[in-house]
Structure 1
Amino acid sequence: MRPLVTIVMPFYNDPYVGQAVQSALSQSYSPIEIIVVDDGSWQYVDRLAPFMPYIHYLGKANGGTASALNHGIRSASGEYIAWLSSDDIFYPDKINNQVLFMQEHNAWISHTNFNYIDQYSQVTHYRAGVSFERMVDFYRCFLNANPVNGCTVMMRKQLFAHIGLFDESLPYTHDLEFWARAIQAGFPMHYLNEPLVAYRRHEGMGTIRHREAILHEYARTQASVRTAIAPIVAAME
């Protein structure tokens, strides 16, 4: 029997949410559980109405993406967890190919390549992810950047029992901190070099609207990540 996969989708006032949910429902893989966590939205909630019979809808007070992810993860029944932002799109074979890849490599956490799309869902950049031939080069990238797109990541749910959930005190860099925590705990991030996600860049996205706050928080998080990852890189070289 194939393992159940839970797709967790944080949602907050996002006009693209219908496209995201439809992409989750259109996966070639089964069985899949879809959890949409409404993080206190007051706009575009009606766009979920056609999908309600097919999803688990969880409402909560606004607390940020990390709190929404954690809320969904706690409720998830799947052996594997995939994160889908409400403005992005999973291509139809995303879950299928990534589950097979993780089983083949006995991976606890993995990420994939992706394409950039615009507000009209047109691809603007194919294979936008950065590929590394050696794991040490990938880890070295963490010393100065975040080389992982969160919406390409799939994890075993059991990983959270080992290293904890996302840090809700980090509104913008909870993903980077979590990747570093996984690596430091001995769970390598395996890379599937297939573009299985369409990552939407648009004027309403949080990375544009909150740029200054993100840069300030990123500087602090990056410093702690560098401290955690640098010894691992040194040991691999």
Structure 2
Amino acid sequence: MGDLVTIVIPFYNDPYVPNAIQSALNQTYPNVEVLVVNDGSTAYTELITPYLPRIRYISKPNGGTASALNEGIRHANGRYIAWLSSDDRFYPNKLERQIAFMQARQARISYTNFDRINAVGRVTQRSVSVRFKSAVGFYQHFLKGNPVNGCTVVAEKSLLHELGLFDEKLLYTHDNDLWLKVLLNRIDFFFLDEPLTQYRMHGSMGTYRFKPAIRQEFLRMQARHIPLLQKVIRALKKELGIR
């Protein structure tokens, strides 16, 4: 039957949440737990009601996405954790393909390519992820930005706990912060070059509404990590014989 995978869906006032839940329930992988974390929503909670017999549902006071993810991870029964934003969707074979990929490589964490969709769910761009020729290129990209879409990531729950889960003080860049911790600990971050997630672009998304705040938080978060990351990159180059 395969190891249990918990899909954590943080939810806050999002009308797209039924699409996310249905895509999680439609997985061809045979051993899935869907856990929806209501982060203090005041709207659209009725959209979850039809799914209650098939999902686990947790409610908590509003604390932000990182806190909702951490709550889900703490309650998860799965060996693996997959994060799905409530406005995004998984392709049906997402977990089947990604878990097989990880287990063949004994990977503790991986991410995949993804497609962009618009507000009505139409694919607007395929295979959006940046491709890197080497681990050095992947690490270097983090000096200026985040190449990993969080909703493409699957990780062992034990690894997330080892890294301290998501930093709840970070409202927007908690994912980037955690991926940097993966790199700084020299944990292999595997990439499956298949689009297995649909990332929705729409006018209400926080990426647009909070752009200045996101930028400021990103700069503060990076300032903590960049010196250590540069040191890791130099060591990696030396190991690979790259000048």
Give the structure-1-normalised TM-score. Answer: 0.98
Structure 1 contact 142–225 (Cα < 8 Å) conserved: no
Query: Match of 2:91?
Result: 91
**Structure 2: which amino acid aligns with 1:35?**
L
Q: Could you give the per-residue CA deviations for residues 161-217 of structure 1, whole angstroms, max 9, x where no partner exists?
A: 321110000010110110011111121210000000000010000111111111110
Does 75-84 or 125-134 show the bigger shift? 125-134
2:115 maps to 1:115? yes
**Structure 1: which amino acid aligns with 2:110?**
S
**Structure 1: which amino acid aligns with 2:168?**
E
2:48 maps to 1:40? no
Q: Could you give the per-residue CA deviations for residues 98-137 of structure 1, whole angstroms, max 9, x where no partner exists?
A: 1001101111110000001000100111001111121111
Query: Match of 1:146?
Result: 146
Return the offset for 1:224: 2.1
Return the offset for 1:23: 0.2
Return the offset for 1:156: 0.3
Query: Match of 2:240?
Result: none
Return the offset for 1:222: 1.9
Q: Give the Cα–Cα distance (whole angstroms) in 1 for the partners of residues 161 and 14 of structure 2.
A: 31
Give the unaligned 5+ runs of structure 2: 238-243
Query: Match of 1:156?
Result: 156
**How high is the sequence identity, in percent, across the aligned residues?**
50
Query: Match of 1:184?
Result: 184
**Structure 2: which amino acid aligns with 1:182?**
V
Return the offset for 1:19: 0.3
Return the offset for 1:49: 1.1
2:63 maps to 1:55? no
Q: Give the Cα–Cα distance (whole angstroms) in 2 for the partners of residues 198 and 219 of structure 1.
A: 27
2:67 maps to 1:67? yes
Q: Could you give the per-residue CA deviations for residues 12-56 of structure 1, whole angstroms, max 9, x where no partner exists?
A: 000100000000000000110000000000111111111110000
Query: Match of 1:230?
Result: 230
Q: Could you give the per-residue CA deviations for residues 40-77 of structure 1, whole angstroms, max 9, x where no partner exists?
A: 00111111111110000000000000000000000000
Runs of 4+ in 1 over 3 A off after TM superposition: none
2:209 maps to 1:193? no
1:20-35, aligned counterparts within 5 Å? 20-35=20-35
**Structure 2: which amino acid aligns with 1:193?**
D
Number of aligned pairs?
Answer: 237
Structure 1 contact 12–40 (Cα < 8 Å) conserved: yes
Name the SS of the counterpart of 1:18 in structure 2: helix
Give the unaligned 5+ runs of structure 1: none
Name the SS of the counterpart of 1:148 in structure 2: coil
Structure 1 contact 180–228 (Cα < 8 Å) conserved: no
Structure 1 contact 145–222 (Cα < 8 Å) conserved: no
2:2 maps to 1:2? yes
Q: Could you give the per-residue CA deviations for residues 209-233 of structure 1, whole angstroms, max 9, x where no partner exists?
A: 1111111101111222322211111
Give the structure-2-normalised TM-score. Answer: 0.96
Q: Give the Cα–Cα distance (whole angstroms) in 2 for the partners of residues 58 and 155 of structure 1.
A: 21
Query: Match of 1:104?
Result: 104
Q: How well do the aligned residues superpose, as a CA RMSD in angstroms? A: 0.8
Query: Match of 1:13?
Result: 13
Name the SS of the counterpart of 2:229 in structure 1: helix
Q: Give the Cα–Cα distance (whole angstroms) in 2 for the partners of residues 162 and 42 of structure 1.
A: 33
